[in-house]
Amino acid sequence: MTALTDTARPSLTASPPALGVIGVARLVLTDFRNYNHLSLHLDTRPVVLTGGNGAGKTNILEALSFLTAGRGLRGAKLADVGRRAPEESSDRPWAVSAEIETPAGSTRLGTGIEAATPDRRSVHVDGQAVKSVAALAQYVGAIWLTPAMDQIFTESPGERRRFLDRLVTVLDTAHASRCAAYDQAARRRARLFRDGVTDAAWYEALEDTLVRYGVAIAAARRDAIAKLNEVLAAAEGPFPSAHLSLSGQVDLWLESLAALDAEDAFREKLIASRLGWAQLGDIPTPEGPNRSDLVVVMAKTGRAASECSTGEQKALLVSIVLAHVQLQSDRRGYPPLLLLDEVAAHLDRDRRQHLFDRITRSGAQAWLTGTDISVFSGFGDAAQLFSVSDGKVSAASSATVVSYPSSLSHPHSKPN
Ligand SMILES: Nc1ncnc2c1ncn2[C@@H]1O[C@H](COP(=O)(O)OP(=O)(O)OP(=O)(O)O)[C@@H](O)[C@H]1O
Ligand SMILES: [Mg+2]
């Protein structure tokens, strides 16, 4: 095994992307978490990162998750991400840059925080600064499953909404901007209440934004869920099929009303809540998509996901994510990046092999982590293997894995 901290290059030469394949061809981290400097060269096959606890596996997945809008897969504060030596308390600027191969060609994406603007994540596309982080959605979609999401079906609706909105954003790239515009209008409206503003005109402008974006958000979620359910219903294999639905006031209206009528109904509600505030003084939260919940049941039994076993819940999440990969491939012509942190080890052998085969067949560059390399033997040569240790990454040979050849070869595997 060769130490390749500076420029880790797998022994296989990168092959050009086939149509419908997307992947990170180069990933560079600078002062990111426990990485001082990391430069990885990759081909577009799935990537397996193995290493002991605290080695830096999840940090790499988190870095990739910053190639999309939002706060990454840990939901971290920007200041916590910069590499911090034990004796240091100051925030360091950090950077993630990646060369992404897509069917349309190669794109360089860069993000991080700069010393002059530590509160704002800067974004560069092909060397040019881009104003909005939401613009990243045009270039790469990424979805992830992490151990922290194991409780997603039992905790508060916020996590489920965030999961759903990530899925929707990958399919409908304007969704992140809509959600940002909605949240901003909701915050501004709450500030008007706090400041005791009584002039209706101030509220009406913001309520107009809430109504338009709120119904558009609910409609986009509804559309994505309907498509996901179709793919899920047709899926075969050992994963339990999930059925998704939405519960929320605007979602309910959209079941029976046209979008414009749903907007009117939402507007009336907002006006009524404003009048209620004038009488009672309680600052109202809009009853919009910010209150909706993603309801997941096991399709075969109708059992709520929250009542399923831990393993079943994990399997439901994996089946949703696999359906999503297929859906994005159908819609956008290529799959999203798939970040699966500590997922494989928790699946039984059948499901694990099915997961590897589905990933391989989809052409998705999935990034999978684990502490035990033998868990990934089912990939055979269809994945590129790396070993992570103390913030350093080296190429691991598939020969170190007891190999059970995968029944499928990846679109990018080199011919033997
Ligand atoms: N801002 C930071 N600066 C420096 N090191 C950090 C920072 N944030 C986290 N770390 C350290 O990075 C190390 C690697 O973390 P990471 O979560 O990537 O490990 P891992 O390989 O996924 O381990 P596990 O198998 O336990 O999940 C940890 O020791 C963690 O304390
Ligand atoms: Mg980890």
Q: What is the pLDDT of residue 1?
A: 38
CA of 360 to the centre of ligand 2 (A): 23
Ligand 1 neighbourhood includes 146 CB (under 6 angstroms): no
Report how far residue 82's alpha carbon sits from residue 71's, in angstroms, rounded to the nearest whole number: 13
Ligand 1 neighbourhood includes 53 CB (under 6 angstroms): yes
Q: Just give the CATH number of 1-141+336-416.
A: 3.40.50.300
245, burial (CB in 10 Å: exposed 0-12, middle 13-18, buried 19+) = middle
Atom of ligand 1 nearest to the CA of 369: 22
**Residue 399 is encoded by which pair of tokens?**
């020969």
CA of 25 to the centre of ligand 1 (A): 24
Ligand 1 neighbourhood includes 84 CB (under 6 angstroms): yes
Domain positions in the chain: 1-141+336-416, 148-333
Ligand 1 neighbourhood includes 21 CB (under 6 angstroms): no
Q: What is the pLDDT of residue 117?
A: 87
Map the chain to HEC letters: CCECCCCECCCCCCCCCCCCCEEEEEEEEEEECCEEEEEEECCCCCEEEECCCCCCHHHHHHHHHCCCCCCCCCCCCHHHHECCCCCCCCCCCEEEEEEEEECCEEEEEEEEEECCEEEEEEEEECCEEECCHHHHHHCCCEEEECHHHHHCCCCCHHHHHHHHHHHHHHHCCCHHHHHHHHHHHHHHHHHHHHCCCCCHHHHHHHHHHHHHHHHHHHHHHHHHHHHHHHHHHHCCCCCCCEEEEEECHHHHHHHHCCHHHHHHHHHHHHHHHHHHHHHHCCCCCCCCHHHCEEEEEECCCCCEHHHCCHHHHHHHHHHHHHHHHHHHHHHHCCCCEEEECCCHHHCCHHHHHHHHHHHHHHCECEEEEECCHHHHHHHHHHCEEEEEECCEEEEECHHHCCCCCCCCCCCCCCCC
Q: What is the pLDDT of residue 20?
A: 65
Q: Do domains 1-141+336-416 and 148-333 have the same CATH topology?
A: no
Residues in the chain predicted with pLDDT less than 70, given as ranges, are 1-20, 89-91, 398-416
Ligand 1 neighbourhood includes 392 CB (under 6 angstroms): no
**Ion ligand 2: protein residues whose beta carbon lies under 5 Å:** 58
Atom of ligand 1 nearest to the CA of 51: 21
Q: What is the pLDDT of residue 89?
A: 63
CA of 51 to the centre of ligand 2 (A): 9
pLDDT digits over 181-231, tens only? Answer: 999 999 999 999 999 999 999 999 999 999 999 999 999 999 999 999 999
Report how far residue 399's alpha carbon sits from residue 306's, in angstroms, rounded to the nearest whole number: 41
HSE toward the beta carbon, residue 231, CA cutoff 13 A: 18
CA of 55 to the centre of ligand 1 (A): 6
Report how far residue 382's alpha carbon sits from residue 367's, in angstroms, rounded to the nearest whole number: 13
Q: Kindly report the CATH class assigned to 148-333.
A: mainly alpha
